[in-house]
Structure 1
Amino acid sequence: MEITRFLLGDGPKRVAPFSHAVRAGDFLFVTGQMPTEPTDNTRCVPGGIEAQTHQVIANLKAVLAGCGADWNRTIMARIYLTEFARDYAAMNAIWEKSFPEGGLPARTTVGVTGLALGALVEVDLIVAL
């Protein structure tokens, strides 16, 4: 199986040493994206879980575009929330609207004690190519 690693010069700036995504066969594994502005990896966007969820989705879509992949072919997502009870419903409302009706991927959502940069949310993906 051929493996291709993507380190995107025009993708969201990385907050740690990782590839933005790795292609293995017909699947793309996308590293968890943070709610940082694409050109500033030193802080999260302000505005709470709503703003951060929108930014994470935008960053994921930017990575997918840089890899030639399609958001609507996402088959699995893992979502990490630092304030699970408080933010779960608001994040879900935004998440659901980001996919076409009937097009939601499989998903796991996990409450965690902390994320890089004090983020409230992080999401990684597996996408079919």
Structure 2
Amino acid sequence: MKKIISTDNAPSAIGTYSQAILANDFLFISGQIPLDPEKMELVEGIDNQIRMVFKNIKEILKEANMSYSNIIKLTILLDNLENFEKVNEIMGQLFDKPYPARAAYEVAKLPKNSSIEIETIAYQGSE
């Protein structure tokens, strides 16, 4: 079973993709950049950008009746890997152990010149 997951509480798609797809018990959330969903503009400052991305992910998870605890994998793209420590710090405030699996990469450029993009996989099945 495949179902499109979409919410007005996270940025609408800015291209040919869905916010998220629920496939059986797995939720695949498209890469989220730090857009304010009301204005569809980037928030400023790396801390605010990281928090906005996680807020947008949280809203999409909520639409699928999930939370951060359902996340099993994050792929984090940064325009400067030196900001990875800030990602760790903020994740430590938002996530409980056990933490999800994760990969992080520095890339040359991200959509709309954002500093961060996070792609998410979550699981809603029983443990």
The gaps in structure 2 that reach 5 residues or longer are none
Q: Is the 8 A contact 1:79 1:109 kept in 2?
A: yes
**2:15 is equivalent to residue 16 of structure 1:** yes
Q: Distance in 2 between matches of 1:13 and 1:109?
A: 24
TM-score normalised by the chain length of structure 1: 0.89
Q: Is the 8 A contact 1:21 1:28 kept in 2?
A: yes
Q: Distance in 1 between matches of 2:54 and 2:113?
A: 17
Q: Distance in 2 between matches of 1:78 and 1:33?
A: 10
Structure 1 residues 58-78: Cα deviation after superposition (integer angstroms, max 9, x where no partner): 000011111222221100000
Partner SS state of residue 53, structure 2: helix
Q: Which amino acid aligns with 2:42?
A: C
Q: Distance in 1 between matches of 2:116 and 2:9?
A: 22
Q: Distance in 1 between matches of 2:39 and 2:61?
A: 19
TM-score normalised by the chain length of structure 2: 0.90
The gaps in structure 1 that reach 5 residues or longer are none
**Equivalent residue, structure 1, for 2:99:** 104
**2:75 is equivalent to residue 70 of structure 1:** no
Q: Aligned-pair distance for 1:12?
A: 2.2
How many residues matched? 124
- Structure 1 residues 10 and 54: alpha-carbon distance in aligned structure 2, compared to 1, 3 A threshold: closer
Identical aligned pairs, as a percentage? 27
**Equivalent residue, structure 2, for 1:94:** 90
Q: Distance in 2 between matches of 1:74 and 1:9?
A: 21
Q: Which amino acid aligns with 2:22?
A: R
Q: Distance in 2 between matches of 1:54 and 1:10?
A: 15
Partner SS state of residue 55, structure 2: helix
Q: Which amino acid aligns with 1:45?
A: V
Q: Aligned-pair distance for 1:124?
A: 1.0
**Equivalent residue, structure 1, for 2:79:** 82
**Equivalent residue, structure 2, for 1:45:** 43
Structure 1 residues 31-66: Cα deviation after superposition (integer angstroms, max 9, x where no partner): 11110101122x3101x2111000000000011111
